Amino acid sequence: MAHDPGWNGAAANLAPNDPPGEWRRPGRDYAGTRYSPLNQINAGNVAELKMAWSFADGVPYGHEGAPLVADNTMYLVTPFPNVAYALDLTKPGAPIKWTYSPNPSPMAIGKACCDAVLRGWALADGKLIFNTLDDHTVAVDAQTGKELWRTKLANVEDGVTTTMAATVYKDKVFVGNSGGELGVHGWLAALDLKSGKELWRAYNTGPDDQVKIGADFKPFYPWMRGKDLGATTWPADMWKHGGSASWGWITYDPDLNLIYYGTANPSPRVPAQRPGLNLWSAAMFARDADSGMARWAFQFTPHDQWDYDGVNEDVLIDIPWRGQTRKALVQFNRNGFAYTIDRQTGEVLVAKPFGNLNWALGVDPKTAQPIVNPAMQPKPGVKLPNACPTDIGVKDWQPAAFSPRTGLLYAGIFNICMDLTDHPVSYIAGTPYDGMEMKRHAGPGGNWGEFMAWDPIQGRKVWSIKEPFMTMSGALVTGSDLVFYGTVDGWFRAVDARTGKVLWSQKLGSGVIGQPITYLGPDGRQYVAVYAGVGGAAMVAAQQPGFPPRGDTLYVFSVGGASNNSGPGLLSSQPGKPAAQPDNTSPSQT
């Protein structure tokens, strides 16, 4: 592969190296790069992109997922009620091949903290696999839509919901829970891909046996070594309702056989009620994919006081570092620091701010702990003005993309601060266990959003684009050095991966908080697809003038809008004549 002189040497293992024209999992590959080698759409023709076809599912909640494509079929799953659709890409109009309705409990809508969303689904072993908001994981036959298995993982009555994308590696499906705002006990579980049987479950707080910590657990930093730290770093028994859910992304290194994922905020969000480090909240784990046993962990925000979940994606890359190649991962944490971490050991190699923050003064190079700004620590009943970033961070769950052609990562980020007031709360199962009140506002400059390219070795922005509204879509980068992203006010853009120059923009019918993908149709043509349907955490800006209406539409683009779903052979009106014609198809009358 040829590279320009500016390439920084970062690379990625693109296993399992699916056919270039398909997209079978949200991150496309095990490393979560969201990189497609397709290059038909390029800088020379991207300005000619037009809508080829669309699909509306009629569901009013936030559309955060990415369509999947395999075997000339597109697979979609809606937000609640989590209806699955298979669309036939070989036929005009991409008609529905089958529909599957899991009928989740409506109670889940009231328990979900931040909209009845679903962030993705997976294709594996001839199955479409996804989670329902009421804590079931289902597998349906990808050809027929017939339910193959359905596994219940928790009780929605207790405040547990499931919004993450079910993730498949090897012969296992990995699922985590949501509900930190209701004081759930966070966990990650592994299910058998063939049967749906639960194989293991690792909790994110509690004694070592529950967290699946054993003799092989070796955190890089001494302050995270010790017995039962998931329990002893909390007041007595508070870990049982300590939140720290796992509702974000999971990536996988097939050579190390390790999965990587993050944990959410500690509960309650009132820090005065839970003195201590509150392990393993606002952290990440590396676990053996087969046994679930932890190999190392790292806590990004000890004793999190601002709701800085650690669940954002961990993109796996290999980097040149001080004369050798290091297996690394990159996470743009909510707390505003971008971390490049050795994924074998948990050593932090780079920790640099990627946006506006004032809660910390930096990261200690010896301990990798943040240096907390004393003036930005909330106290019960006292308003803390202008804490930056806000609770959803400098970046939330919306996933970044990595290009092995440029060595850069691309991400939508925020410029939002908050006025914060805490009040003590008590735990009652299935009810809010929160205690945090926020008024959010734009940070310096007045823009709510930004899209950036990031060098994970130097720890610096290479370029960025300021956006007046939040940038809360996932990113997509292609083999022709195009990056696609969307904004909360409904702009879908293509930019030059090397310079950040905006090459194409299209206004859609709602805000974009989904994840764009690209694929080859049965006609050999490259398409780009994205959902527009604002919701989820983007609703924090709902009072902003110009905020768009809810939506439910998948938009599919191609050069010139051409597709096998239009053109000769389809019913059409004749030029110069009215579209409504007499019905001449019935037998003639004599």
Q: Is 204 annotated as a binding residue?
A: no
Distance of CA 256 to the CA centre of its chain: 23
Measure the CA angle with vertex 253, ends 248 and 259; round to 5°. Answer: 40
314 is catalytic: no
Q: Give the pair of three-digit tokens for residue 544.
A: 């902003």
Distance CA(304)–CA(274), nearest Å, equals: 10
Task: Render the burial of 246-282: b for 16+ CB within 10 Å, e for the rest.
Answer: bbbbbbbbeebebbbbbbbbbbbbbbebbebbbbbbb
From the CB of residue 371, how many other CB atoms can be counted at a distance below 10 Å? 10
Distance CA(255)–CA(102), nearest Å, equals: 36
C-alpha to C-alpha distances, 419 to 277, 382, 441, nearest whole angstrom:
24, 10, 8
Distance CA(504)–CA(486), nearest Å, equals: 12
Q: Is 64 annotated as a binding residue?
A: yes
CB 484 within 8 A of CB 491: no
Distance CA(517)–CA(521), nearest Å, equals: 13
Which residues are 467's β-sheet partners?
A: 449
Q: Is 157 annotated as a binding residue?
A: no
Distance CA(368)–CA(365), nearest Å, equals: 5
**Rg for the chain, CA atoms, rounded:** 24
Distance CA(38)–CA(518), nearest Å, equals: 8
115, 135, 307, 481: the catalytic one is: 307
Distance CA(414)–CA(412), nearest Å, equals: 7
Secondary structure (H, E, C), 142-176: CCCCCEEEEEECCCHHHCCECCCCCEEECCEEEEE
Q: Is 265 annotated as a binding residue?
A: yes
Q: Is 525 annotated as a binding residue?
A: no
Distance CA(119)–CA(98), nearest Å, equals: 21
CB 43 within 8 A of CB 499: no
Query: At a CB cut-off of 8 Å and minimum separation 6, what does 585 contact?
Result: none
Q: Give the pair of three-digit tokens for residue 522.
A: 């049965």
CB 102 within 8 A of CB 138: yes
CB 182 within 8 A of CB 40: no
CB 353 within 8 A of CB 376: no
Distance CA(512)–CA(462), nearest Å, equals: 24
Q: Is 198 annotated as a binding residue?
A: no
Annotated binding-site residues read 64, 119, 163, 181, 265, 307
Annotated binding-site residues for Ca(2+) read 181, 265, 307
Catalytic residues: 307
Annotated binding-site residues for pyrroloquinoline quinone read 64, 119, 163
